[in-house]
Amino acid sequence: MTAPQPLTIGGRRFLWGSRTYVMGVLNITPDSFSGDGLGDDVEAAVAQGRRFAEEGADLLDVGGESTRPDFASISAEEETGRVLPVIERLLAEAALPISIDTSKAGVAQAALEAGAHMVNDVWGFRHDPQIAEIVARFAVPAVIMHNQRGRQFRDVVGDIRDGLEASIDLATAAGIPRERLIIDPGFGFGWTVEQNLEMLRRLEELRALGLPILVGTSRKSTIGAVLDLPIEERLMGTAATVAIAVASGADIVRVHDVKQMVQVCRMADALVRGRPALSR
């Protein structure tokens, strides 16, 4: 299957199909499901971003509101206040493309005005369609995720495809070129353990959409359920899901443990893509 067109994000060229890219997660929240929430500690967040860059991350994803199940929503003003100081510092100190992880149009606009390079919307423009207009105005790429929460279940891949196609339609109607989109099937967002596992097994079917695929399995509850392990002990389970995702066609993996998952991706790429293990 033909690889999606290359995409430039924050001045860096992403050549899909050449290797797997690693997105490091920076949760500027006090209530992250993964136990890595940095609260309002800007210095800690910036230090973590610099460390991720040194460990081989290709992008940084900055979020100011938890998306865990039953999360407590915060105002756009509070979310903006959390992420902007971190984004501004990272732009000067980390030298990596920065994604703003938000579902609020106001937060997305403020982050892009501050210099962020991409928007990552866990509702795929279906919660706040104005985000699509903002992405189009700033001419940046966007990750659109299918979120199954509150939706009727029929078929794992069928539901994901329908949701992503609806998001793609919203994006193109707003003026975003299709080639600026990255799709995320939404592992852990409204699915049962069995459905999440099926999603990974059938991930390759989503390549038919012709867009780069981002997968975020890191430390999630499905891993805990399968292995009967708490969040802090899910590193190896995460590694297994990342390796399977790479083998099934993932172009980006969104992770909390950058150093270890960079190694997993390099090894998986060497096996799947025939890429030398030490090559970058």
Give me the catalytic one of 104, 161, 254, 266: 254
Q: Distance from CA of residue 45 to its chain's centroid?
A: 18
Say which of 220, 234, 266, 275 is annotated catalytic.
220
Does the annotation count 220 as an active-site position? Answer: yes
Phi and psi (nearest 5°) for 133? -65, -40
Query: With contact defined as beta carbons under 8 Å apart, do 130 and 105 qualify?
Result: yes
Q: Work out the burial of residue 120: count CB atoms within 10 Å of its CB; fewer than 13 is exposed, 13-18 middle, 19 or more buried.
A: buried
d(CA 216, CA 188): 8
In the chain, % helix, strand, coil (3-state, to 5) comes to 45, 15, 40
And the tokens for 236? 């190896």
- Which helix (H) or strand (E) element contains residue 13? strand 12-14
Helices (H), 37-155: 42-55, 76-93, 105-114, 130-138
Q: Which residue has the tokens 């106001």?
A: 106
Q: Is 161 a catalytic residue?
A: no
What residue spans of the chain are helical by DSSP H?
42-55, 76-93, 105-114, 130-138, 156-174, 193-201, 221-227, 235-247, 258-272
Residues noted as catalytic: 220, 254
